[in-house]
Amino acid sequence: MVKYVGKRLIYMFLTMFLIATATFFLMQTLPGSPIASYNKLNESQRAIVEKKYGIDKPKPVQYAIYMKNLAQGDLGTSFVFKGKSVNDLLASRFKPSFILGAQAMVFGTIIGILLGIIAALRQNTFWDYGSTFFAILGISIPSFVFASLLQYWVASEWHLLPVGLWNDGWKSSILPSIALAMGPLALSARFIRTEMIEVLSSDYITLAKAKGANGFEIAFKHALRNALIPLVTVLGPVAAGLVTGSLVVEQIFAIPGIGEQFVSSIMSNDHATIMGTTLFFSAFLIVVIFIVDILYGIIDPRIRLSGGKN
């Protein structure tokens, strides 16, 4: 296990290095100037600003400076929010995105797993068809469509919950969380149904029934544990995307999260914030994938993470 973790940490470091390099040079290909927000400056003043941020230096020198700062945990300074570091911007925006993502992930996964179990145990019945139809809707319809519908009907027409406005307290997080939860809910229901139908036809399930195990024990103690492995694989990247912010949903509900900040930085051509947000999301995704691999061994001890012969 120690050897496996060490190798994975090296791969994670190399992956982040490649992503940081690719992101830096891709930013250089974007049209416009990274200090476009300083549009009222004359040529001499613009030259001073470019010198201050090192934009006047050759690209290899800029790259070396950027990687040096990145190694120290410094993501740079925003050109739009003048004088504010990207680290501070992301730190202030992470909490709303994390709350929404965590709520959506927990709600969507739990409800989806329950729907999948019911569909598998009641195969080819009304419950099965209803769960499958619900899962297809959740996968086919984008989350921002659900967000718009919820905002219009539940908030604007029925006045049950706030339209948005993060300042309204925890109630303002319910509708965007529900909209974001539709994706993991549909995935969980579909994967659990498929895997549990296969697992329930296995020999060891037949043996468990012969020994007198009841339906609850068969479903949750024996079948569900084996059915969770492919679901964990799929939900890992989904969780990273939800927790680090949903671009459109946060815009619709005016949530001051990372997704909303990312969209704003792209619109304003804020290179430092775009690169910092991209690296933050990449790092989060890499860590989540690493955690998923560790969870394999916890869910099913027969899986040997380090490889080799039993």
**CATH number reported for the structural domain that contains residue 171 in this entry:** 1.10.3720.10
pLDDT confidence bin for 112, thresholds 50/70/90: very high
pLDDT at 242 over 50: yes
For the stretch 56-74, pLDDT in tens is 888 899 899 899 999 999 9
Question: How many domains, the chain?
Answer: 1
The per-residue pLDDT of the chain, averaged, comes to 83
In this prediction the pTM is 0.80
- Its sign, for the CA torsion 275, 276, 280, 286, is positive
Does 160 have pLDDT greater than 90? no
Structural domain boundaries enclosing 217: 92-267
CA-CA distance, 10 to 1, in Å (whole number)?
14
Which span out of 27-31, 273-277, 290-294 was modeled with the highest average pLDDT? 273-277
Residue 298 domain-assigned? no
Is 58 domain-assigned?
no
Structure tokens at 221: 């103690």
- pLDDT band (50, 70, 90) for residue 10: very high
In this predicted structure, the answer to whether residue 142 has a pLDDT above a threshold of 90 is: no
Predicted local distance difference test score (pLDDT) of residue 231: 84
> What per-residue confidence (pLDDT) applies to 306?
52
pLDDT tens digits, 77-109: 887 776 688 999 999 888 888 888 999 999 999
H runs (alpha helix) in the chain: 2-27, 43-53, 59-71, 86-121, 126-140, 143-150, 174-200, 203-210, 215-216, 224-243, 247-252, 258-267, 271-299
- Domain assignment present for 76: no
Domain-embedded: residue 175? yes
Please report the pLDDT score of residue 104 as a whole number. 92
Does residue 290 form part of some domain?
A: no
Q: Which tens digit of pLDDT belongs to each residue from 22-50?
A: 999 998 887 766 666 666 667 776 777 77
Please indicate, yes or no, if residue 116 is contained in any of the structural domains: yes
Q: Does 130 map to a domain? A: yes
Q: Is the pLDDT score of 134 beyond 80?
A: yes
Please compute the mean of the pLDDT values over residues 164-189 and round it to a whole number.
85
Q: Look at residue 217 and tell me whether its pLDDT is greater than 60.
A: yes
Is residue 164 assigned to a domain? yes
| Residue 310: predicted pLDDT | 45
Q: Supply the pLDDT for residue 38.
A: 63
Phi, psi for residue 207 in degrees, rounded to 5: -65, -40
